Structure 1
Amino acid sequence: MLADTVLSQRTASGVRYTVRQPGTGPQARIGDRMLVHYTGFLPDGHIFDSSVGQGKPLRLRVGRGEVIPGWDEILLLLPQGSRARVWIPAALAYGARGVLNPDDDSKFIVPPNTNLVFELEIVKVR
């Protein structure tokens, strides 16, 4: 389901991405504030988190460690208005620690050492 036949690009760190809709707005610089809609998928296609389901985009400052390292990297490459599918290696996501389920700490929302896939939309850069 998450395989993509469109040519993707790869960063030096190993983040892979396919721009589905090029943005025409400003491109973020380190420290800029951004609004980003996202849906996060595990390798089997299961959605583990989504701003769309929460009804509002995520607010963040890019390049400041407020999000996983793979996001800090890719968000600097996508101008406002962009939509992209992004594949992030586990080491640039949650790594060996994963993400525990807050309701049951014997289960993981994101298992350790899991590569992730995101659908991203850059809503606003300021």
Structure 2
Amino acid sequence: MRYLIRQPGTGSPAQPGDRLTMRYTGFLPNGRIFETSATDGAPLRFRAGRGEVIRGWDELALLLPAGTRAHVWIPAALAYGHKGARDPDDENRFLIPPDTDLEFDLEVIKIK
């Protein structure tokens, strides 16, 4: 995994079990957006290190303090791997094809 800090945060990164609130936009390698917290109207909330998100996010959550804005490259092995992610509306289609590396623009809003 690689990341570029666009705006540094303050304080300490999350510890396993801490609750994080993040805004994000996810991109496929061709630049197409596959998901964004903006469409849900609310940021994503999850607990660090609990497997509630892809492994790359779990690892990243323990590195970035609140207020951080970053661009992140996550290899397929730390994302959806060989399985990919199927479209819930059409099982014959993939939202994220197998073995696809992902990119994210994200902001850690809060750690608690």
Shorter-chain-normalised TM-score: which range?
Answer: over 0.9
TM-score (norm 1): 0.87
* Counterpart among 49, 52, 55 of residue 38 in structure 2: 52
Q: Give how far 1:52 is off.
A: 1.7
Q: Give how far 1:53 is off.
A: 2.1
Aligned to 1:79: 65
Q: Give how far 1:54 is off.
A: 1.4
Work out the percentage of aligned pairs sharing the same amino acid.
60
How many residues are treated as equivalent by the alignment?
112
Aligned to 1:4: none
Distance in 2 separating the partners of 1:25 and 1:17: 18
Aligned to 1:11: none
Gaps of 5+ in 2: none
**Is the partner of 1:96 in helix, strand or coil?**
coil
Aligned to 1:42: 28
Q: 4+ residue stretches of structure 1 with deviation over 4 A? A: none
Structure of higher RCO (CA pairs closer than 8 Å, 6+ residues apart):
2
Q: For residues 41-89 of structure 1, give each alpha carbon's deviation from its aligned partner in whole angstroms, at most 9, with x where no partner exists.
A: 0000000000022111111000110000000011111100000000000
* Counterpart among 99, 102, 120 of residue 85 in structure 2: 99
Gaps of 5+ in 1: 1-14
Measured on the aligned residues, the alpha-carbon RMSD in Å equals 0.8
